[in-house]
Amino acid sequence: MTMTHATRLLAWYDRHRRTLPWRAPPGKRTAPYLVWLSEIMLQQTTVAAVGDYFHRFVKRWPTVEALAAAPLDDVLSAWAGLGYYARARNLHACARAVTEQHGGIFPSGEAELLALPGIGPYTAAAIRAIAFDEPASAVDGNVERVIARLYAIETPLPDAKAEINLRTAALVPQRRAGDYAQAMMDLGATVCTPRNPRCVICPLMAACEGRRRNIAEELPRRAPKADKPTRRGLAFVLSRKDGAVLLRKRPAKGLLGGMDEVPSSDWREGALLIPEALKQAPVPARWKVLQGGVRHTFTHFHLELAVAHAIATTSGLAKLAPGSAWCTIDQMTERALPSVMRKVIAHAAKG
């Protein structure tokens, strides 16, 4: 692909660029804070899912200093539903680092960006290109797909990443690097799609080796994924007569770190033994195991939770563990509740 092709892609972008909440108007640069915030939110999440969250975050915390000053619990609560909660913890830590170490100004250098919490090579390149117009090569899943098809790279991912990164870096123009990075993302998202790519309207159609060989839709190839294990547990929904539900906070580190949760037994592989699981109930109560349950998929495993429900009694309340707290229905939206726990509470409400 020559610079002529880069020019062709930019001309296509000028006509067909997507309008996105975090994208500056033509000829303008997006503020580094907005680029960073949107890119962290977009990791492993769709554009459609992110829009409302982005608007709420920017309205509530319009600057990186404002985000840094916010309590972590508030950030986790605002993030609830986006998933992959380590991103929210790193988001807050990064905001504090930028404020404390860089005076609230995002650095433009690759090494300085990579030293910040939660910023990896892709996010650093996206910030450098889009916010600072540096000729950085930002390679996300969309770009991997475009490049694999353009050069008919048949090596399966992840082994193909090294070649894709080299090919991509060689294409980045010295001028309009930010527009070029966003053009590649848009091309992959709207034209060079995973299924049924719209090759006939692609500005790179003539140069695409995958299309010439009639294998474009098969690329990029991927190594077979190992089957995810299934873990099982018993969730305990303890409610008061006013409808409030008992929650506890998870450890700061690890899966769903720092989030609120409904108490549950350990999550283990193998069959769920209800009598054993009931021994891990948060308080003595008349626990009723409900029909059905909740299934949720994390990055590395599936989770199946049976749900037990009980009404709190005066004797049980005296035995609440430290870190436990009641949450009323009105407060539920303000709590940092991951979606799996919202499913559990909804299942208990159906009885």
Q: What is the pLDDT of residue 42?
A: 94
Query: What distance in Å separates the CA atoms of residue 64 and residue 99, rounded to the nearest whole number?
Result: 7
- If asked whether residues 166 and 64 sit together in one domain, one would say yes
Residue range 225-250: average pLDDT?
91
Answer yes or no: 39 catalytic: yes
Q: Let me know if residue 160 belongs to a domain.
A: yes
Q: What is the pLDDT of residue 1?
A: 47
Query: Is the pTM above the cut of 0.85?
Result: no
Q: What is the pLDDT of residue 278?
A: 94
Residue for token digits 């003539």? Answer: 206
- If asked whether residues 201 and 259 sit together in one domain, one would say no
How many domains in the chain?
Answer: 2
User: pLDDT band at residue 86, thresholds of 50, 70 and 90?
Assistant: confident
Identify which of 146, 157, 141 has the alpha carbon closest to the alpha carbon of residue 47: 141
Residue-number span of the structural domain to which 324 is assigned = 230-350
- If asked whether residues 296 and 203 sit together in one domain, one would say no
Q: Let me know if residue 17 belongs to a domain.
A: yes
Given the residues 39, 134, 144, 261, select the one marked as catalytic: 39
- If asked whether residues 214 and 239 sit together in one domain, one would say no
Q: Which residues are registered as beta bridge partners of 302?
A: 230, 297
Identify which of 349, 129, 306, 140 has the alpha carbon closest to the alpha carbon of residue 148: 140
What are 262-305's pLDDT values in tens digits?
999 999 999 999 999 999 999 888 999 999 999 999 988 999 99
| Beta carbons within 8 Å of 275's beta carbon, 6+ residues apart | none
**Per mean pLDDT, which of 79-88, 269-278, 307-316 is the most reliable?**
269-278
Q: What is the pLDDT of residue 95?
A: 98
Query: Final residue of a domain: which of 189, 218, 247?
Result: 218
* CATH label of the domain that carries residue 157: 1.10.340.30
Cα angle 309, 313, 317; round to 5: 100
Q: How far is CA 172 from CA 109, 115, 177, 187, 299, in A?
A: 17, 24, 7, 15, 32
Task: With a cut of 60, say whether residue 316 has pLDDT above it.
Answer: no
- Complete DSSP assignment for 75-113: HHHHHTTS--THHHHHHHHHHHHHHHHHTT----SHHHH
DSSP summary character for residue 168: H
DSSP summary character for residue 149: H
Task: With a cut of 70, say whether residue 2 has pLDDT above it.
Answer: no
Q: Let me know if residue 224 belongs to a domain.
A: no
User: pLDDT band at residue 13, thresholds of 50, 70 and 90?
Assistant: very high
- Complete DSSP assignment for 254-290: STTTT-EE--B---EES---HHHHHTT-SS----EEP
Burial per residue of 216-237, b for 16 or more beta-carbon CB atoms within 10 angstroms, e otherwise: beebbeeeeeeeeeebbbbbbb
- If asked whether residues 8 and 106 sit together in one domain, one would say yes
User: pLDDT band at residue 15, thresholds of 50, 70 and 90?
Assistant: very high
CA 242 to chain centre: 35
Query: Final residue of a domain: which of 178, 197, 218?
Result: 218
Q: What is the pLDDT of residue 238?
A: 93
3-state helix, strand, coil in the chain (%, to 5): 45, 10, 45
Q: Let me know if residue 225 belongs to a domain.
A: no
Residue range 94-114: average pLDDT?
97
Query: What distance in Å separates the CA atoms of residue 244 and residue 239, rounded to the nearest whole number?
Result: 5
Identify which of 224, 228, 226, 227 has the alpha carbon closest to the alpha carbon of residue 157: 224
Reply yes or no: is the peptide bond before residue 220 cis, omega within 30 of 0: yes
**Per mean pLDDT, which of 135-149, 248-262, 314-328 is the most reliable?**
135-149
Q: Let me know if residue 318 belongs to a domain.
A: yes
Q: Average pLDDT over the chain, rounded to whole?
A: 92
Contact call for residues 192 and 145 (beta carbons, < 8 A): yes
Q: Which residues are registered as beta bridge partners of 249?
A: 260
Task: With a cut of 90, say whether residue 97 has pLDDT above it.
Answer: yes
